[in-house]
Amino acid sequence: MRNLSVQHGWCLVAVAVRCLAAAFTSKGGALGNGVEFPLGIGFAGVVLAFGLTVLTGAYALGHISGAHFNPAVSFGLWAGKRFPASELLPYIIAQVLGGILGVGIIYLIVTGKAGGYTIDPGAAGVFATNGFGSHSPGGFSLFACFVAEFVLTFMFLIVILGATDDRAFKPLAGTAIGLALTLIHLIGIPVTNTSVNPVRSLAPALFVGGTPLAQVWLFWLAPILGALAAGYLYLNFFEPNRDVRSQEELESSRF
């Protein structure tokens, strides 16, 4: 329960920071209707906010809970036999609750703006939501968005599995993972506003409703399938087999 509580708390912080950055800088610094964020951190700022959140979180909590801020990551690690099936549901529940609470905090902040704050469910990317078709920032089709989310999540899990492999230089794992997510957002924001994390899509969609909520299924399906494919591939093609592991352990014991 201690691990679960820590995971829940950090999911809240991670999703809150991400949605805060994405919402404050969406559409060139406009937050909804008639609300401008004067510091204008822009596209690069949003990208860095996502990457730095995961980078710092990985080092802060990776040794406690595995630093899963993302159901797709949990599924991918399970497929790669790095995470027990018995912990999938508790982790996902914690991630979802943390995400909803995080976005709730953002909503409380933005509604405190003088003159009020309104959310237009018909606008692409409103309140940092993800979407396809007319709700894609670049107007990309459902199929294009599915492919983008599948491939980006697949590559993210390959980086995670590789960077945390026993044969890798683990002290830099968090850096590699955070930089990978930064790169993913550079690529994905024009297409879907970048999900690669089902909870990151669900939480703001619950507050917006309408089309973003109706389209959120894609941002559960594509990332989870991409993560499962990566976990299966890494386990069966990149992980050393039992004989190789035994030989490596024998050789390491000689030094």
Residue 74 near residue 91, CB atoms below 8 Å? yes
**pLDDT tens figures, 132-169:** 999 999 999 999 999 999 999 999 999 999 999 999 99
Residue 113 near residue 157, CB atoms below 8 Å? no
Q: Which residues contact 145 (CB under 8 A, 6 or more apart)?
A: 131, 132, 136, 191, 192, 218, 222
**pLDDT tens figures, 87-125:** 898 888 888 888 888 888 888 887 887 777 778 888 888
**pLDDT (0 to 100) of residue 112:** 82
**pLDDT tens figures, 165-222:** 999 998 999 999 999 999 999 999 999 999 999 999 999 999 999 999 999 999 999 9
Model pTM above 0.95: no
Where does residue 164 rank: exposed (0-12), middle (13-18), buried (19+ CB within 10 A)? Answer: buried
